[in-house]
Every structure is written in structure tokens, then in C-alpha cells.
Amino acid sequence: MAPTRRGARRTTAAATTAEAAAEVEHEPAATTPAEGGGGGRGGRRAVARSIKKPAADTADAAEPVKAGRKKTAKRTADEDDEGEEEDREAAAEDEAKAKRPKKSPASPAAPTRRGRRGKAAAVSEPDVPDSPDELPEEPAASAKPASATVTAAATTVGVDDDSDFVEPASKPTNKTMPEKYSLADPANGAAAGEAGAVVKICSWNVAGVQAALKKGLVDYVRAENPDVLCLQETKTAGEPKEGLLKDLYPHQFWTSPPTGEKKGRYYGGVAVLSKVRPISWTGGIGVPEDDEGRAVVAEFESLHLIHTYVPNASTKLVRLPEKQRYNSAMEALMKRLDATGKPVVWCGDLNVAHDAIDLNNPKGNVRNAGFTVEERGDFSRILSGGATSTPGPAAVASAVGAAAPFVDVWRQLHPRVRDYSYFGYRQNCRERYAGWRLDYFVASRRLVEQVRGCVMRTDAYGAADHVPLVLALARVRL
């Protein structure tokens, strides 16, 4: 007996429901920021990567994938490093959306993209920025000059409390490098007799030397004129063929990509450019990640210099074990070199925000790469010489006080200043001055009395998504 018209509609609806159910079986659950996906663009990519194709015998039952959708290849470990920016910015996007004012229960629900035609979609509303501009200004009387000598007193910043801080003296929002530079000397507090003995070391993640060269890298370096220049994420297969600033830095050490790495897919690499030839220098710290070209260790007359681009824990923290192994090796190396009698200076993009005031959105990143308890705890353990693995400088001060063998120099000079060295390109991070402090100078405790300044060149932005960090040391010979 032929079905009635109503029965036919029911049959068709049931078939459609079955087809939809078959397709849903192949769709993974959405990734949440707490899992490391961060939502937003990074989260959608993670979902796209994990969608499984239906079996051939059920292809007719499942609804076809939308035409034109491109397949997304799984990220390599190096590509995860480049994905760091998207992960952090996606988390910032989710946090900004979460801070929107909640509507009362009586208010009608906001329409979605599938709502009635002619009504604005809720997802098109602008984000409410969690702007630092709303925070209290720094009292002039409490401001410390950048040239002040480091004291032995430990910082009092809370481990998880980001309320006790002051704003930086300036918050530039430029997106391109300045045409002219008027750089304050970080060592302007040095005694007159020390003027000829002050050494400047500059650390900078350039996010690709070739790209940065087109955006003002050389102009900045010539204006800064450091004695030693440390570059991270060079993305080059050794020294560039055309050379780089050979007239200023005749002695250069460039790491190379892993053997067989395809051109255009190398996201690592570091380089040390020096006016003075070091006694020795080597690539790596003795871990498998050395094959990614992440470290250079140089010995000078007065100090050991360790320059690293520390691995990123990556999306969903898949590389957290490798990063913790790297941190353990770094701890052992720091102790061994410090025991030789020469102090140690460790610099670079360390891919960690040690405390809540070291990033704009701590609550939204508690389980994202760069702000996990494990990474922050590793940094505390390095600073304290193994005395504590509790995150934050307050924990280090509580465990060992002024006896901590190593010092986070910038934080020691600016114990309550909330400033950043990295600003992502998305989510208007630069305009909002919403970033992370990922770049560091760590020095042996006995070297701190020779520190004459440590400054972030926050106006030198645009050649890369990081800004340079400069350390000035007195009575040091290279």
C-alpha cells in the first residue's frame, strides 16, 4: 500500500534525521580553552584536523562534506611553535567574550547566525576589551628608574594575585618600527669611571630574519648598538648568504635546522652576533631539542652567556614533557657553569609567563602553553636552585630569599610593573596593550650588583611580534 502524503513526509523526516545522526558521529566535541585549544580560529582548526572520514560503505548515508573545504594537515612540532600566537590570541578572544555584560533572564535571547533573517547575529557583536587603560596609573613617587642598581631584596608580587601592580611609564601602540630612534641609555646610572666598561646585550625574537629585515631590523640594531646581539626564531638555515651586520659584528654563530628539514617549514633557529670573539661557543645544551637549533652557549672573559629559544608547550600541551625535559637540562647547565667561578647570563624567548602580572589575561590562560603550573614551577626551580617548584617570584623569595642563586633581572628591577615583551597580531592586542612577558635576562646572583639597567624597548615593535630586551652590565669584559 502506498504511503499517504503525511506518511511520506514522516518517512522523509526520519531519513533526514538518520543522515544527520550519521554525520554527527564523525564530528568531535568542541575544544575548550581549558584544554589548550583556546577556541576561536585555533580551536576551529583543531576540530577540522580531528574530523574523521566516514567509511566507504556508509558514504551514501552520510551527508557530503561542504564543497571546497580544504584538508588541514597535522601540525609538526615546529609548526606548533608558530601556532603559539593563535593559541594565546584565541584564548584572549574567549576571555573578552566572557567579560561581556550578562543579560537578565527576562531579556530575550540574542539571535544566533541561524536566527531570524534581518536580525543582527549575536556573534557579530564587538568584543569588550579587557584594556589595561582602565587600571590605576603608577604613582610618580613609587616609580623606579630603569638605571637603578638591583637590590638584594626579593620581589613581593603574589604568586596568583595580579591586583598588586602598576602600569609602565608608557604604553606605545605603534604597529610599525619607528623611523627615528631616541633610545634612553639603560646604563645612564653608571658611575663616570664605569662609562667605558658598560656592556650592552640585546635579546630579540625576530620571528624570521628575512621578514624582519624588510621591516626595520637593521635600523633598530644600529641605533641600539649593543655589544652582543642575540636573535631568536631566525628561521634560517645557518647564516644568511648575504650576511647580517658584518661591519658591526664580525663574530657570529648561527644554528641550523634539523637535517632534511624542508625549506619554508623551519620555525626555530637562534644566532649570537658579537663585537668580540668569545673564548668558545657551542650550539645546544645536550638535549634532543638541540636538533631544532634552539641554543647557543658562549664563554666570554667575564661571564658565560646562554642564549635560548625555549620550546613551546604547544596546543593541548602536547610538548609539555619535552619542554620540562629542556627546563631540567637548563637547570643543570646553569648550576654547572655558575660553579666554574664565572657568573652566568641566560637570555632569550623562554616561552613562560612566571607570574600573573606577566600577562594580560592570566585567568583565561591557566592551562594554556606558557602559563601552566608546570612551566612556571620549572622557572621557579631554576631561579631558586632547586629549592622550590611553586610558581611565582614570591614563592622563590619565601623559599630562599636573597640566597636564590639566579635572578630574573627585569622583574627584580621592576617588581610591580606590568609590562609585556610580546603582542600578538590578532585581536587588536597591540592597540589594547594586551600581551605577555616571555623574554628574559636571568643572571647569577653575584652579578646583580653590576647590573646598570634592563629595559624593554616597547616602542620598537613592528619588525616582529616581540620587542627587544636590553641588559646593561658594568665592570664586565667580553
Cell of 381: 626551580
Q: Are strands 344-349 and 304-309 parallel, antiparallel or unpaired?
A: parallel
Q: Which amino acid is it at 368?
A: N
Cell of 459: 616602542
Is residue 440 annotated as part of the catalytic site, yes or no?
Answer: no
Pick the closest to residue 148 from 405, 408, 454 (CA basis).
454
d(CA 287, CA 443): 22
Name 92's Cβ contacts closer than 8 Å, sequence gap at least 6.
Answer: 360, 361, 364, 424, 427, 429, 434
For the beta carbon of residue 354, count every other beta carbon within 10 angstroms. Answer: 28
349, 358, 378, 439: the active-site residue: 349
Could you give the dihedral angle defined by the CA atoms of residues 210, 211, 216 and 220, in that order, rounded to the nearest 10 degrees?
-60
Cell of 436: 605577555
d(CA 101, CA 304): 52
Name 206's Cβ contacts closer than 8 Å, sequence gap at least 6.
Answer: 212, 217, 231, 232, 233, 234, 463, 464, 466
Is residue 349 annotated as part of the catalytic site, yes or no?
Answer: yes
249, 267, 309, 433: the active-site residue: 309
What are phi and psi for residue 30, nearest 5 degrees?
-65, 145
Continuous segment of H or E residues that includes residue 378: helix 373-384
Longest dimension (CA), the chain: 107
d(CA 436, CA 419): 8
d(CA 253, CA 251): 7
Q: Are strands 344-349 and 469-473 parallel, antiparallel or unpaired?
A: unpaired
Name 182's Cβ contacts closer than 8 Å, sequence gap at least 6.
Answer: none
Name 41's Cβ contacts closer than 8 Å, sequence gap at least 6.
Answer: 86, 90, 426
Q: Which amino acid is it at 202?
A: C
Radius of gyration of the chain (CA): 26
d(CA 173, CA 449): 34
Active-site residue numbers?
309, 349
